[in-house]
Amino acid sequence: MSQRILVTGGAGFIGSHTCVALAAAGYVPVILDNLCNSDVRVLERLHQITGSTLQFIQGDVRDAALLARVFAETPFAAAIHFAGLKAVGDSVSDPLAYYDTNVGGSLMLASAMRDAGVNTLIFSSSATVYGEPEHSPIPEDAALRPASPYGRSKLMVEQALVDLYRSQPGWRIALLRYFNPVGAHESGLIGEHPHGKPNNLMPFVCQVAVGQRDKLQIHGGDYPTPDGTGVRDYVHVMDLAEGHVAALKHAEIQSSLVTLNLGTGQGASVLEVVRAFERASGRPLPFEIGPRRPGDVPAYWGDPSLAQATLGWRARRSLDQMCADSWRWQQRNPEGYR
Ligand code: NAD
Ligand code: WQD
């Protein structure tokens, strides 16, 4: 029988793409999401892509009674825990909300899993746990010094799960540190649609390209990088999604706790992203170079070799494909799922 996987936050950007990858690999994803940053209409799109109706539970991952019921009703093989808040700036102005949802929600989920005897957990961590790295590519054993409450909330959960594993080594846990996820499913049916003005580069670029915003503000052109703009490790969301499937398969083989970078291992500058997007969309992307954004790191990218050695996974999709897929999604869904 196909294994059921609880996907918290499965209606969101990375979670919805991971549901597609799970279904393609023969798993049955079950989504639990409170829709605080997503749209229920993603379910219709997932149906169109996968050909099946995914079970959806609308609820909060901090609701212990709900989790107990969910685990009692369905024999889950594992949980993938995406549900959380992710805006760095909001975490500075409202840290308690971030610790409550990200730390509190994760502890609640792990407790419910322990009580139900489900011991495979894949956790969405972030490269933000490294803070400003000494050098790139960043290996997993680099210093951890997150610079925001958001980043610290991710590190706290990692630490709690390491302690849990040490106390009960029967657990199978993967802590996946994503770099900069972008792109969309190649169908153009699902993608990223942030509420309000986007903070992140790719959604902003998409909105400029489709004419919803006049121009991109490049945050700083005087960094010590080849063209002066910030450098990041952009990774296609479908590569990330497949990384979760690889982590699940690894967990099926042996009890372990693994901490892995999921990135391409290559940095791209803001100007390189702009040029790639222009190639993908066939239209010029107006931009202006402004001041640096407070708190930004000049450049970082990950070393994904441990993920490749451990999971046999590596990111395969190019920056051009990330831009082409983002553009297809944006063009077909200028208002997101609305
Ligand atoms: P997203 O906001 O699109 O998805 C998160 C989902 O979780 C949303 O559907 C939201 O409604 C849901 N959610 C939030 N709080 C909840 C709660 N208390 N109970 C139930 N559901 C809840 O974000 P995403 O980009 O898909 O990120 C998924 C995970 O990956 C997050 O944990 C995020 O911190 C982490 N991450 C994201 C990035 C990135 O740049 N997108 C990078 C590194 C790590
Ligand atoms: C990328 C580059 C900007 C917007 C954030 C979080 C991190 C992780 C991923 C969750 C930088 C530049 C951006 C714009 C620009 N999320 N930029 N104009 O800051 O690397 O990482 O998302 O874990 O925790 O901090 O991503 O997309 O915001 O920025 O010039 O309008 O694009 O300065 O160089 P970032 P980003």
Q: How many residues does the chain have?
A: 338
Answer yes or no: are the C-beta atoms of 101 and 30 closer than 8 Å: no
- Residue 16 alpha carbon, nearest atom of ligand 1: 26
Report CA(297)–ligand 2 centroid distance (Å): 9
* 61 Cβ inside 6 Å of ligand 1: yes
Report CA(296)–ligand 2 centroid distance (Å): 8
- Residue 198 alpha carbon, nearest atom of ligand 2: 31
Q: Does the pLDDT of residue 308 top 90, yes or no?
A: yes
Q: What is the pLDDT of residue 278?
A: 98
Q: What is the pLDDT of residue 195?
A: 86
* 219 Cβ inside 6 Å of ligand 2: yes
Q: Report the C-alpha dihedral over residues 194, 296, 209, 284, rounded to 10 degrees.
A: -170
* 199 Cβ inside 6 Å of ligand 2: yes
Q: What is the pLDDT of residue 280?
A: 97
Q: What is the pLDDT of residue 57?
A: 98
Mean pLDDT of the chain: 97
Mean pLDDT of 50-57: 97
Class of the CATH-defined domain 4-183+235-263+300-315: alpha beta
- C-alpha distances out from residue 108 to 60, 113, 121, 338, Å: 10, 9, 13, 32
Percent of the chain with pLDDT over 70: 100
Whether 150 is catalytic is yes
pLDDT band of residue 89 (cuts 50, 70, 90) is: very high
- C-alpha distances out from residue 116 to 32, 60, 68, 75, 253, Å: 17, 18, 8, 9, 21
Q: Domain limits of the chain?
A: 4-183+235-263+300-315
Report CA(200)–ligand 2 centroid distance (Å): 5
Handedness of CA 307, 308, 314, 319 (dihedral sign): positive
Instruction: Find, among 236, 140, 249, the residue nearest to 192 by Cα.
Output: 236
Predicted TM-score (pTM) of the model is 0.98
Distance CA 91, CA 45 (A): 31
Q: Does the pLDDT of residue 196 top 90, yes or no?
A: no
Q: What is the pLDDT of residue 28?
A: 98
Q: What is the pLDDT of residue 115?
A: 98
